[in-house]
Chain A
Amino acid sequence: MMTEARPSPRAAYEPGAPTEVVLEAAKLTKVYRSSAAGAAHVALDAFDLRVVAGEFVGVMGPSGSGKSTLLNLLATIDTPSSGAVRIGGVDPAGMNPTDLARFRRHRLGFVFQDYNLLESLSVRENILLPLVLDRVPLADMRARLADVAALLGIEDLLDRRTHEISGGQQQRTAIARALVSSPDVILADELTGNLDSRAAFAVMELLRRLNEERGVTILMVTHDPFAASFCRRVVFIKDGRPHSELRRAGQRQAFFQQVIDNLSVLGGDPRDVPAARL
């Protein structure tokens, strides 16, 4: 099984240039039924979202707003009740588990709050995992590893075990793994949740640079306005529906304030918002 050839690194994203939709949610609905009484809970209600190549989109919302459901559906880990997900124009619905897993591996990159690294593998092996599973030639793997390791500044950590490095370093390893197979889009789930403010800043700066300098498309779900302030566009979700949207025009600090203001309009629990980290 070989990966499809895709240009890497991607050409820098230029606003106004003709754009390609890489990730799309069309009338995405997820209804959870509790089996006992048949009571239904609509977690996501005909949600529409389009992410074009080179975007850095944040999805924010209070607890229970449906943002995790949205991410799971986009990540093809969960299946929608109705509506469709299209990744690079392909709807993965109806794929068998094996094809779906391969599709996920090749088209999506994942970054999780808990890093999701295997402690039995070294940092190098963790990063290479998607390529190794596809039996990419050794020389090719070395080149791509060198590329992403340099990009993320973890060249010196490659031979360490995951429990020997800090949380920030683990998260950078996870980002390297997400990048190494040149996916269409990187899906990040609360990736700063376990990091202290310094490490969180470094990781978010890194994502911003990847996006701006390499044109990596990123969709990030978070409830942290600080992390969201690094995005170019933030979509607010409430009760399973799109609520509002913000685009960053100028300084990140100003955008951060906008995000906080919007959150209070959204009426989420103010305790969701951590102390300002500017």
Chain B
Amino acid sequence: MTFRQLAFNNVRASGLRYAAYFLSCVFSVTLFFVYAQFILHPDVMNGDIYGGNASRTVLLVCEVLVGLFAFFFVLYSSGAFLRARSGEFGLLSLLGTTGGQLRRLIWLESTVLSGLATLVGIGLGLLLSRLFLMAIARVLGMGAPIRFLVVPGAVLLTALVFLVLFQLVTLAATLRVGRRSVKALLVGARSERAAPRASAALAFVGAALIAGGYVVAASAQGSAVVVAFLPVVAAVVVGTYLLLGHGSVVFLRRLQRRERWYLSGPRMLAVSQLVYKVRDNARLMATIASLSAVVLAGAGTFHIFSRQIERSIHERFPQALSVVGPERGGAADGGSVAGGVDPDEVEALLARHAVVPASRAQLELVSGTALVDGRERHVTLVATEAYRDLLDRLGRAAPASELGAATLVLAPRATSAANGGEWDTDGGSVAGRPVDPVGTLSVPFLALDEWYLVDAADLARLAPLERGMAARELWLWDWRRAGPGVAGLVDDVALLEPSEIEGGVVSGRELAGRAARSTLGLSLFVGLFVSLLFFIGAGSLIYFKLFTELPEDGRTLWRLRRIGVTPIETGRLVTWQVATIFFLPFALGALHAAFALKAFGNLLALPVGGYTATVLALFALVQGAFYLLTRWTYIRQVERLAA
């Protein structure tokens, strides 16, 4: 048997032990690759993302983070893997294998393993990107935001990064094994674990840092939020490490001292095992808590932004659809200023898509150039009563304050100041009251005009049109809930817009929403992708970490079973452990995120409680599903070991 055969046989023979390590490596490669595939995708590189280059930089930073994450994860897994095989190495040394040979054996083994893991990881990554794109297209309810393709740059980058990464990890591993004595290797697998020590003082410092950060985050207003940002984040992260590393142990020790509670039922087992579990997993949990906080805060911010946009669309557009009709009788000077849309065309489309509006309305208006208190303005005049009626019909209150009155001098366009001419003040005048239509009724076509409410009689008096003024009609349709035909209808209505440059003749809530969704689509996709990736990453990290502890837990359970501890009791023990490792960091991260979002709300002067709750609930659901899956497989595995 050659040396190479020995290495290969090792990998093949103890398949199960290698499987866990191999899967961790595959997982890291997949994570990195899916991400690289995404950020190096031409559609993302060149596409229209909210925030443009800044967003792309953030994405790159995230990729570096994923790389670091992968490095530490693989390093950790490799350490656990080698520890578990310590006895085997000890035996080999005892039989006369030299340190150099042992190092070469480990190097060969892990090169084979990592090469395979890179290949499998990239393959799996391709499969997952495809599935993810399909899923996201369904969720967003539109075509996939980016195409599926194999990005050669991503494949190359992943292969290169992991080649280096695995070699580094292997180097660290061989150094670790080579330096230890035969006896240490032989004993290593079964060495006794010292009882966890924890400092109440450090736990207190941790809690104080977090509390301080929270107070600052919740109370800072305006620009102080920006100044406080970094110090608060630093304090909270350090506090998280201290609280989880020391606070959790101190807390459990306290519980152990309450004998009446502690010495009653399986909780004694659960609590005493947890002391070790939380100590061993403190760093992992703190990392995940911080990670969750970042992701939750990011997702929350995005959610708040998109809800804000949605809300402002609702405020601006009480109408689902509206069109501005053509000038009645054309401009007085004969030239059409801008086209309009015949409302009958919209009615025909409504019929074709079988959309039945809840209400229809129509508003007469006159728009053009006028001299308002001596200055030239573009104005739109509406009859006061008709305007109020319309808003009433659309379920909106008329604007409260209509400041003062103005005298509008209607003048012939030919002599307007813009053309360098003189005003002919004989055009006639009406009294009007200025009104701000934005927030009650937005018509983009007339958005640059100042709106005035005038008497219906005055508007009628303008019937034989003054020069420079044009009479139009605004047609509006509304419905509460978008039925099945609405999406198609809106697409068709958008096509009615006579000229792209003029814009806004066709408008309404549905059209604005459609435009916002298409701009936000890619950004939403990026946001979802990044948070999902991090969450899957964090969940899997816990998953694999738990499974590296499986043999030890299996042995503990086996010991308990031998002396008559029931499956129900051991099941509860395992449940407690898995649940703690899963939910403790998540809960802490969620709390961090809640305060971060509160600070963000303070910055924007917005109440964000509802949004925060939505995001946290959603992620709690994902985390809960992950937990159930893990607990289920873990209990099955550990039961098999305990039998």
Contact = CB atoms under 8 A, between A and B. Distances in A.
A227 B339 CA distance: 109
A104 B564 contact: yes
A119 to B, nearest CB: 6
B564 A118 contact: no
Interface in A171-185: 177
Nearest to A99: B566
A106 B195 CA distance: 30
Contacts of B265: 132-133, 135
From B260, B564, B565, residue with most partner A Cβ within 10 Å: B564
Chain B interface mostly: helix
Contact of A161 (B195, B559, B565, B567): B195
B629 interface: no
Interface in B250-270: 259-260, 263-266, 268-269
A76 B397 CA distance: 80
A138 B264 CA distance: 8
Interface stretch (A122-130, A204-212, A240-248, A268-276): A122-130
B272 A163 contact: no
Contacts of B566: 97-98, 101-102, 105
A121 B561 CA distance: 16
A92 to B, nearest CB: 11
A160 to B, nearest CB: 10
Of A117, A118, A130, A135, most buried by chain B (CB within 10 Å of CB) is A118
Interface in A110-146: 110, 112, 116-121, 125, 128-130, 132-133, 135, 138, 141
Interface residues of B, number: 28
A133 B272 contact: no
A148 B2 CA distance: 59
Contact of B561 (A101, A106, A125, A130): A101
A269 B358 CA distance: 98
B254 to A, nearest CB: 16
B563 interface: yes
A263 interface: no
B193 interface: yes
Interface string A237-276: 0000000000000000000000000000000000000000
A104 to B, nearest CB: 4
A47 interface: no
Contacts of B259: 138
A128 B566 CA distance: 16
A141 B567 contact: no
Contact residue range for chain A?
20 to 34
A101 B565 contact: yes
B567 A133 contact: no
A116 B562 contact: yes
A108 interface: yes
A103 B272 contact: no
Contacts of B565: 101, 105, 129, 133
B224 to A, nearest CB: 47
B563 A129 contact: yes
Per DSSP, are chain A's interface residues mostly helix, strand or loop, or mixed?
Answer: helix
A246 to B, nearest CB: 29
A150 interface: no
Interface in A32-72: none
Nearest to A97: B567
A39 B264 CA distance: 48
Nearest to A98: B566
Contacts of A118: 269, 272, 556, 559-560
Contacts of A161: 195
B275 to A, nearest CB: 7
Contacts of B556: 118, 120
Interface string A77-107: 1000000000000000000011001111110
B569 interface: yes
A120 B272 contact: yes
B193 A98 contact: no
B562 A110 contact: yes
A117 B564 CA distance: 13
A108 B565 CA distance: 12
B563 A130 contact: yes
B500 interface: no
B278 to A, nearest CB: 12
B264 A110 contact: no
B567 A121 contact: no
Contacts of A102: 564, 566
Contact of B567 (A75, A98, A106, A112): A98
A163 B193 contact: yes
A103 to B, nearest CB: 7
29 contacts: A75-B562, A97-B567, A101-B565, A101-B567, A101-B569, A103-B564, A104-B563, A104-B564, A105-B563, A105-B565, A110-B562, A110-B563, A110-B564, A118-B269, A118-B556, A118-B560, A119-B192, A119-B193, A120-B272, A120-B273, A121-B268, A125-B263, A128-B263, A129-B268, A129-B269, A130-B564, A133-B565, A135-B264, A135-B265
Given A108-B564, A120-B556, A132-B268, 4 more contacts: A98-B568, A105-B565, A119-B192, A120-B272
